[in-house]
Amino acid sequence: MSPLPELTARPGRPLKGIVTAPGDKSISHRALILGAMATGVTEIEGLLEGDDVLATARAVEAFGAGVERLAPGRWRVTGLGGFRPPDGVIDCGNAGTGVRLLMGAAAGHPVTVTFDGDASLRKRPMKRVTGPLGKMGARFAWRGAEDRLPLTLTGGGLSGQEFVQTVASAQVKSAILLAGLNAAGRTVVVEPEKSRDHTERMLAAFGARVQVETEGAGWRVALEGGQALTGTDVAVPGDPSSAAFPLAAGLIVPGAEVTVRGVMLNPLRIGLFETWLEMGADLTVSNRRAAGGEEVGDLTARHSSLTGIVVPPARAASMIDEYPILAATAAFARGETVMRGIGEMRVKESDRIALMAAGLTACGVRVEEEPEGFTVTGGRVAGGATVTTHGDHRIAMSHLVLGLAAEAAVTVDEPGMIATSFPGFVEMMRGLGAEIS
């Protein structure tokens, strides 16, 4: 999407249609990075061609991998069995997942590299990754404010360590495991709750031996250093985080019925769908099948009478990116929807708790903000507001969906950032009948 100053969503006719979910962003990043670390050819089908993933593609090419776009969504990565020193700065754009996983991968190689990003990425904390990598032996020099990009990493000579996490984070776990591939000895990550397991699954597909054991409500993930990866074929399933937006519109727009095909149903990624069902959503799954080592299915959402619930805080790890669109749907539910234990939202691309609370309030919705969460009281959604997004794609898309069912149009600023995760969002929604201009 070319940069636009504003986008406006207006209430209109019922949404109808069948669309295909864009490729999963988390798996797209990992397919490129592991393909670059491996020896040989990795063929990727269904890669998400959003700005974030394209930044990672440019990064692995800078680290020495061969990267070719064969057709829309079809990419080939030719790995050399490791990373080579890049010629310049690795600019990760807005990709938080990309930069953190790339730092983990690069830390295991004898390279010195500077990582940077756009203004939004420069505000996001990095010590959650650089701290563990530093304990393994990687060295970091901060080029600006400590804990923020830009930073310079010097890798190589790592030793495996055991890390007991206080907060489940797939990005932190993945960075540690990727570094551990080239560390001496055993690397272990213990999580208090289970975070998404795409890295573990994909490492196994590339030939690595990863040991996963349940430990309480979480798990212990371990691998031995010195393991080589071999290029393989990767089929990227549909992204549940992206599918959430047209499905949410199906739930809240009167008379709507929307089907999204090929959505990944990994148990650690469906927290939003479970929450909607508990709220009374008419949400059904059909045509379950396997794709890229993951279960996928076709989801159909029909206009529903929703009731607010208390979302279990333990569910946060499985749906942390989906709380903005959950908050938007909660605005149309009867009673209170309570969302707590989600302080991580404050250090995403923006402070998503504050921005969702401000946007919903501007649209006439009652919101009570807390340090680690918020409560949305559903009912009348007046709309008629212009919402400040701070360039956050999920804040923009959530309020645009809200505007399709509000009493009056809702406008968002800085919508160009939607292309970071969901290129084609506006076109897809228009194809369903949405009035977005």
Q: Which residues belong to the active site? A: 321
Strands annotated E in 207-281: 210-215, 218-224, 233-235, 257-264
d(CA 55, CA 420): 10
d(CA 352, CA 345): 5
236 — phi, psi (to 5°)?
A: -85, 120
Q: What is the DSSP string of 359-407?
A: HHHHTT-EEEEETTEEEEE-S---B--EE--TT-HHHHHHHHHHHTTSS
| Structure-block tokens of residue 356 | 């969702």
CA 139 from chain centre, in angstroms, equals 27
CB contact at 8 A, 78 and 32: no
Give the bridge partners for 142, in sequence order: 151
CA angle 371, 384, 255 (to 5 degrees): 95
Q: In residues, how long is the chain? A: 437
CA atoms within 13 A on the CB side of 123: 12
Pairing of strands 336-340, 373-377: antiparallel
| Structure-block tokens of residue 293 | 């080592």
d(CA 246, CA 107): 39
d(CA 375, CA 366): 8
Q: Which residues make Cβ contacts (< 8 Å) with residue 302, sequence separation at least 6? A: 250, 251, 256, 257, 258, 282, 283
CB contact at 8 A, 103 and 59: no
Q: Which residues make Cβ contacts (< 8 Å) with residue 312, sequence separation at least 6? A: none
d(CA 44, CA 65): 14
CB contact at 8 A, 185 and 224: yes
416 — phi, psi (to 5°)?
A: -60, -25
Give the bridge partners for 408, in sequence order: 383
Q: Which residues make Cβ contacts (< 8 Å) with residue 71, sequence separation at least 6? A: none
CA atoms within 13 A on the CB side of 179: 38
d(CA 80, CA 90): 19
